[in-house]
Structure 1
Amino acid sequence: MAKKTVSKDQKKKEVSSSKDEQVGFHKGSLSTLSKERAELGRILQIIEQLMQMHVAALNELGVDLTKEVEQMKTETKMQNKKKPIEDVL
């Protein structure tokens, strides 16, 4: 069997091509993630508007939300004692 010989130029082309592919992959990923982050921000704005509408409606109906907010704060403090993501992974 004949041994395959690969010249230095061919190796450089392969490395360069591989590097270009990696750069393209990472740039594409960043572009996609950036668009996803923008979409998430838009969704959060919509949720905030809906929450404000419900708060206003409850205020009009005479519901006192301050007690419920305090209760939610204490529940949130208890939930914040979760494991860090590094421990979960």
Structure 2
Amino acid sequence: MDQLQALRVFCKVAELGSFTAASERLGISKSSTTRHVRQLEERLGVRLLNRTSRKVSLTEMGRAYLESVTSILEDLDEADQSIAREAQML
């Protein structure tokens, strides 16, 4: 499992409240989206999302994890952009 991709998928599902909407936004199949989240939950040993036929919501653990992961991904994106800017100046 690509852990970074799984984190991005989890964040998008949480943001949009839907596996289908997240799949469409990310340009990946719904089965791939589901697999990423399921593997992430299995690796962590906790359920991150409550699933119903219509909607997805965060569990308490999912909310805490989302907060941490969002911060990490924002820092990573910022670091990537910073390095890209510096590389352009060379």
TM-score band, normalised by shorter chain: 0.3 to 0.5
Q: Name the structure with the higher strand share.
A: 2
Structure having greater relative contact order (Cα 8 Å, sep ≥ 6): 2
Q: Which has the higher helix share?
A: 1
**TM-score w.r.t. length of structure 1:** 0.35
